[in-house]
A and B are shown apart, each in its own frame.
Chain A
Amino acid sequence: MQLTLKIWRQKNASDKGGFVTYPVSDVSKDMSFLEMLDVLNENLTEKGEDPVHFDHDCREGICGTCSLYINGKPHGPLQTTTCQLHMRSFSDGQTITIEPWRAKAFPIVKDLVVNRSAFDRIIQAGGYVSVGTGGVPDANEIPIPKTIADLAMDAAQCIGCGACVAACKNASAMLFTSAKVSQLALLPQGQVERKTRAEKMVAQMDAEGFGACTNTGACEAECPKGISITNIARMNREYFSAVVSSENV
């Protein structure tokens, strides 16, 4: 395959940045998208040009490190991570536009690499059950209905890649935040801190500068793990009932 890549290049956070067009040839359909970029980078290195920087690590679709807004969609045309996207999803001669995630809360570090530490801070605001190591009851002393455990797992599958933010027209982090709020609201272990958690995580999400939710459903449609927006509804419920009933003034 022969392809034309239109890639966003930006030296650092303060650089203005712009698109640069690169032709690539000898692309095999069995390559993953990132392997195709590896080929480009090997060629650039050979020519003495700075390779294109992008985030990636496990290349198995689970670590959530890879990103890329490909032809107008986060993680490209399929509902998967970029590392699991293969070149058979593209056609010979195609032009592919590659942009970084765009959000105020995800500042660009270099080229296609963005800083997603805002997500970490949202979790730090309350995305946990406050139990220390040791001194916990036997695992089977907390029976959990299978359906509830499954729902919690559905939400817990979030890989924190940020595709939801990238896809959302408002750069909202509702899907990410609600996935964690939901998981812990569903489980008995999360009940003790349920109200405070919802309040704090939403406050942190806002403080990071993410947008509001318009319920377009784009996040769910693009989430590589298929996290449902029912979690957003659950978070709204959790939040509203928390603010009216919690002791936090």
Chain B
Amino acid sequence: MSWVTKTLSSTLGKKLLMALTGLFLILFLVVHLIGNLQLLLPDNGESFNLYAESMATNPLIKVVSIGNFAFIILHVIYSILLTRHNKKSRPIGYAETAASTNSAWSSRNMGILGTLILIFLLVHLKGFYYEIKFGEVPMVDYAGIMYKNVFAIVAAAYSNVFYVVFYVISMGFLGFHLSHGFASAFQTLGLNHVKYSPLIQKVGIGFSILIPALFALIPIVMYIQSV
């Protein structure tokens, strides 16, 4: 084995990949949210549709989005590898545990939270990404140029109360996942310091509340607008 593969197959190496991909996905969330918030602009979706068009055509974005998918897949694969390894490390469990007294629930259930988020992601991709890319999308005319009316697809989806509820609950899972994942990634990278770690903790908590809440706000508002 070369030193690279040896490192990446060590427990620390696997954790390093989890942390790096996690941090990238955190960044992606921010970018994605900024784009999505345009759904709430009172312009019948014009800015959002223009934004969607630019996303679909910009070559840089294309590269990044391939990277994004790759990181999601890596994050998932390595979580499975780590979980399997960890399960093997304790073949016989305890009859009684009081884990709640020594650690946060979310930190102990990152795998479950991640799986739920993955399910959401698949539904989300099927509903929007796939539809927009390969489905039949109505067109809209802005200043003589025809654009895909992505906004219409989103608005249609968010008029379905079940979809909205599913979306909001999933953002809850995301929040819990982030509440541990954010600071944990820094800890894994070894970025722990008396001066900065408390700040990272706080930012992590703030992030894990704010970002999912804003994501959840979009379907709620659009649902209310639809009725």
Contacts and interface: CB of A to CB of B under 8 A. Distances in A.
* Chain A in direct contact with chain B (Cβ < 8 angstroms): yes
A211 interface: yes
Given A8-B95, A213-B11, A218-B103, 17 more contacts: A19-B95, A71-B96, A72-B98, A102-B92, A103-B89, A104-B91, A171-B89, A171-B90, A172-B86, A202-B12, A214-B108, A214-B110, A215-B184, A217-B102, A217-B103, A237-B189, A240-B190
A158 to B, nearest CB: 18
B187 A105 contact: no
Interface residues of A, number: 47
Nearest to B185: A215
Most chain B C-beta atoms within 10 Å of own C-beta, residue among A209, A214, A238: A214
B171 interface: no
- Taking residues whose C-beta sits less than 8 angstroms from the other chain, chain B's interface range is 35 or more
Most chain A C-beta atoms within 10 Å of own C-beta, residue among B3, B12, B188: B12
Contacts of B184: 214-215
Given A206-B11, A249-B3, A211 B102 contact: no
B102 A236 contact: no
Contacts of A243: 3, 7, 13
B97 interface: yes
B90 A103 contact: yes
22 contacts: A69-B94, A72-B99, A103-B89, A104-B90, A167-B102, A172-B11, A172-B86, A172-B89, A203-B10, A211-B86, A212-B11, A212-B15, A214-B107, A214-B110, A215-B187, A218-B99, A230-B192, A230-B197, A232-B187, A240-B12, A243-B7, A248-B3
Interface in B144-187: 180, 183-184, 187
| Shortest beta-carbon contacts, A-B, top 8 | A237-B190, A233-B192, A72-B98, A211-B89, A170-B86, A221-B102, A216-B103, A212-B11
Contacts, number: 139
Given A171-B89, A239-B12, A243-B7, A233 B98 contact: no
Contact of B107 (A99, A103, A217, A230): A217
A221 B108 CA distance: 14
Interface of B: 2-3, 7, 10-16, 82, 85-86, 88-99, 101-104, 107-108, 110, 180, 183-184, 187-192, 194, 197
Given A72-B97, A216-B107, A217-B107, A240 B180 contact: no
A32 interface: no
A213 B96 contact: no
Nearest to A242: B7
A73 B100 CA distance: 10
Contacts of B13: 243
A233 B190 contact: yes
A180 to B, nearest CB: 15
A99 B94 CA distance: 7
Contacts of B187: 215, 229, 232-233, 236
Contacts of A169: 86, 90, 99, 103, 108
Interface string A74-96: 00000000000000000000000
